[in-house]
Structure 1
Amino acid sequence: MKKWYKQLHWQIIIGLVLGLIWGLIASVSGFTEFTIDYIQPVGTIFINLLKLIAVPLVLASLIVGVTNLNDVTQLSRMGGKTIGIYLVTTICAITIGLTVVNIIQPGDFLPAETQEQLMSSYEGNIEGSAESAQEVIDRSPMTFFVDIVPQNFFKAASDNGNMLQVVFVAILLGIGLIQIPSDKSKSLVNFFDSLNEVIIKIVDLVMKIAPYGVFALMAGVIVDLAGDDIGQALNLLGALGWYCVAVLVGLLLHLFIVYSSLFKMFSKMKLTDFFKAIRPAMLLGFSTSSSSATLPVTMERVEKNVGVDEEVASFVLPIGATINMDGTSLYQAVAAVFIAQALGLDLGLGQQLTIVITATLASIGSAGVPGAGIIMLVIVLQAIQVPVEGIALILGVDRILDMCRTAVNITGDAAVSVAVAHTEGLLGEMHLEDDE
């Protein structure tokens, strides 16, 4: 058995803690510019490496999974289950968020002078988000489905935000391969199978530098938040403390209530064992704030440690990374009500039901749009007639909360893959002697 400090998840945690300490030291000692110029780029390189292998991994593993399936009916059934469970967990997340924020009422704790200071500091950061949100609202209801089908595969594959298009092409290729004689398809299937194995090995190599990448990312987050004055960051966190508490409590409740219920309904897996199996992916999601960047690691952990069959993981997880945003949707609900409370606006039951509907639709409608979290929030605020400018109240702590909600998003994707795999009879045994 490995010594604890040689296990991957502990190395990542150590990297997180040391990055936090360095960021604080840099802010106090004036090493902010050094951190931004020489340490933060290491984290950027690490994220770029993960993003680099995301598209080829999804393409290769999904093609191999479809060709092994040999049953288009089973594939369509799996798709229906995936979308259905994603929608249910998203609605649960929003409902939990609304419940928590109405109980805590964090907006009542924000002094008027703090509101004015935050609004003046961050109001310039939301102009572009309002325009992008309007573009999403103006889309045709069928635009989402039209966007899934690319005009040019190579253009789609050049942008990780177009992951659904890559999934579509991979499924199409897989179906085409099972429609022709095996003697003609064998060489191409073997090629993608070999490519898949190579990429998995590359994931293992990239993960060797994960602790250093996480250290650099965390140091960069603290420096970005605090600048040269750590007191400013602490004052900001103090002013928005109850808002942060509401978001974090909601996320924890969703993790332990919704996902444990999901496992009781669809498998015999223990939630604690599930967390142990995917913790490196959760920690990376927290560090990178990117579901797409973490996707290769999530897929590897779900297949290798959780026991989900490759054809399920390669189908469910890329879709989840694009449209399933449990953590983000919960955050939308808390943020919308918090802003309304801070501005002295009372939201009735009808408006809060509007938040549930709008946030659910926005989580799908804004898929693949850069800065999707803020754009989704603009759409929700417009739907309940709360001034969009109120977003300035929360932008100061958004980066930290984004890390938390991304970790929940990734956990949700993995949990749904377990449920779908169990219903398809494609869930194997767990392997918890991990971090090899």
Structure 2
Amino acid sequence: MKDKLTKRIFAGFFWGIILGILAKLLSNLFPSSISILLNLFSFGGNLFLKILKMLVVPIVFFSLLTGVANLKNINSLGRIGTKTISLYIFTTLIAITVSLSIGKILEPGSSVSITQQKIDLSVNPPPSLSSVFLNIIPDNPFKSLVEGNMLQVIFFSILLGGCLSTLNQNKLLVDIVFKLNELVLKMLNVLMTIAPFGIFCLIAQTFASQGLEAILELLKYFFGVVLVLFIHLTLVYLPLVRYVSGTNIIFFLSSIKQALLFAFSTSSSSATIPITLNNVENNLKVKKKISSFTVPLGATINMDGTAIMQGMATIFISNFYGIELLFSDFLTIIITATLASIGTAGVPGVGMIMLGMVLSQVGLPLEGIAIVMGVDRLLDMLRTSLNVAGDATVTILINKSEVK
């Protein structure tokens, strides 16, 4: 089912490019007909985006709520839990920061600018750092949910999920919350069935106005993400493996190769959990009491690859639409992407939902999602493999610290 959807998304993306470029070439010969066609593209694309926007808040709220509520064994593990979560959050902070930095160097999307008219509207002075942090705490959480203030929604979801995890005696309430999360994810699956149509319309509209220049910038984005994924593996994970845990790098990679291949083929950290557990316990000789906590937790909160994609995609989309990001926007992106990694559901489409959350938080158009979604399947496979490598890295680090 997932493979069929992927093929349909690729098809929608491909034919959107073809038809969009044809419309661009024929616009001078048949201006009225092309105008009608573009209006149809606009309607179809906006319909898809409206449904996508409708799901952003409930997806984020329930995904984070259930993800944090599911971390019940943190209290019992105490020291191990604190070290594990700290390491996962630390590597995610590095991932999103490096991605934004490399993105600013490469500037994907800078050669094409769809619109310039909104740039001059950002004349207000940037908010102070203290106000950015204070704005995370909602005055009224229900107002934050209604207005879609994502940082505040994330904060409230994590706080509520943490409290929910302590209500062990109220199993019914916990079950209701988890069922609601399943319901929202089911709605997402329904949305994904029409995603090829929405992507086709949005891509066709984009290339009808921009032509071939947009393809070159998309390739720059793709290779930018791949570059940062490689940097994160070789300059963050592998040095930690070698110099902190004392494990040979070749031996480490060879020991988890099954998990990496499985993650690459399934694009799911959660589905790879049994393979990862087997590799770290049998090949890397990690204690079961440690791996049984760190690996499932990593599949929930270790989303370094997703954070890298979000950082590069945000730079690409801001350049593509000619919207300048302020320093406070970059800080917001770092905080939002890091917090959103906690409890992100490992299902198809959620990565794009989380990207939509980041874009809306810094005022970037959600239409940009359709542009990057066409190459997201391969990137999803690569970043999931990175996430699993991160799970194994943190696991052997915690194991090393506990056996001293």
Q: Given the two structures, how large is their TM-score scaled by the length of structure 1?
A: 0.56
Supply the AA of the counterpart residue of 2:231: L
The within-5 A match list for 1:13-412 is 75-110=77-112, 138=153, 140=156, 141-148=158-165, 151-152=171-172, 240-364=218-342, 366-367=344-345, 371-412=349-390
Shift of 1:152: 4.9
Identity, % of aligned positions: 39
Supply the AA of the counterpart residue of 1:138: V
Unaligned runs of 5+ in 1: 1-18, 28-61, 67-71, 114-129, 163-224, 227-231, 427-436
Supply the AA of the counterpart residue of 1:253: I
8 A Cα contact 1:292 1:321, kept in partner: yes
8 A Cα contact 2:114 2:321, kept in partner: no
1:368 & 1:399 partners in 2: Cα distance? 14
Supply the AA of the counterpart residue of 2:153: D
8 A Cα contact 2:300 2:344, kept in partner: no
Shift of 1:377: 1.2
2:347 & 2:162 partners in 1: Cα distance? 15
Supply the AA of the counterpart residue of 2:161: F
Unaligned runs of 5+ in 2: 12-70, 116-144, 183-198, 201-206
Q: 1:155 to 1:350 in 2, by over 3 A?
A: closer
8 A Cα contact 2:268 2:346, kept in partner: no
1:415 & 1:356 partners in 2: Cα distance? 22
CA offset digits 1:249-304 (Å, max 9, x no partner): 00000000011232245211122221111011111111101111111101101111
2:386 & 2:146 partners in 1: Cα distance? 28
Q: 1:73 to 1:154 in 2, by over 3 A?
A: closer
Q: 1:138 to 1:384 in 2, by over 3 A?
A: same
Supply the AA of the counterpart residue of 2:107: Q
2:148 & 2:393 partners in 1: Cα distance? 29
Shift of 1:374: 1.5
Q: 1:281 to 1:153 in 2, by over 3 A?
A: farther
Q: 1:262 to 1:133 in 2, by over 3 A?
A: farther
Supply the AA of the counterpart residue of 1:243: Y
Q: 1:154 to 1:340 in 2, by over 3 A?
A: closer
1:300 & 1:422 partners in 2: Cα distance? 18
2:267 & 2:305 partners in 1: Cα distance? 11
8 A Cα contact 2:151 2:336, kept in partner: no
8 A Cα contact 1:295 1:321, kept in partner: yes
Shift of 1:370: 6.4
Shift of 1:154: 10
1:390 & 1:355 partners in 2: Cα distance? 16
8 A Cα contact 2:261 2:385, kept in partner: yes
1:288 & 1:370 partners in 2: Cα distance? 10
Supply the AA of the counterpart residue of 2:363: Q
Paired residue secondary structure (1:374): helix
RMSD between aligned alpha carbons? 3.7
Partner of 1:6: none
1:270 & 1:245 partners in 2: Cα distance? 29
Aligned residues: 275
Paired residue secondary structure (2:341): helix
Shift of 1:73: 8.9
2:401 & 2:238 partners in 1: Cα distance? 16
Q: 1:268 to 1:315 in 2, by over 3 A?
A: same
Partner of 1:423: 401
Shift of 1:368: 6.3
CA offset digits 1:32-83 (Å, max 9, x no partner): xxxxxxxxxxxxxxxxxxxxxxxxxxxxxx9xxx9xxxxx998211001001
2:247 & 2:240 partners in 1: Cα distance? 10
Paired residue secondary structure (2:337): helix
Q: 1:294 to 1:109 in 2, by over 3 A?
A: farther
2:261 & 2:90 partners in 1: Cα distance? 25
1:146 & 1:367 partners in 2: Cα distance? 20
8 A Cα contact 1:333 1:355, kept in partner: yes
Q: 1:133 to 1:83 in 2, by over 3 A?
A: farther
Q: Given the two structures, how large is their TM-score scaled by the length of structure 2?
A: 0.60
8 A Cα contact 2:359 2:366, kept in partner: yes
Supply the AA of the counterpart residue of 1:144: G
Shift of 1:372: 2.7
Shift of 1:350: 2.5
Partner of 2:195: none
8 A Cα contact 1:302 1:308, kept in partner: yes
1:88 & 1:330 partners in 2: Cα distance? 14
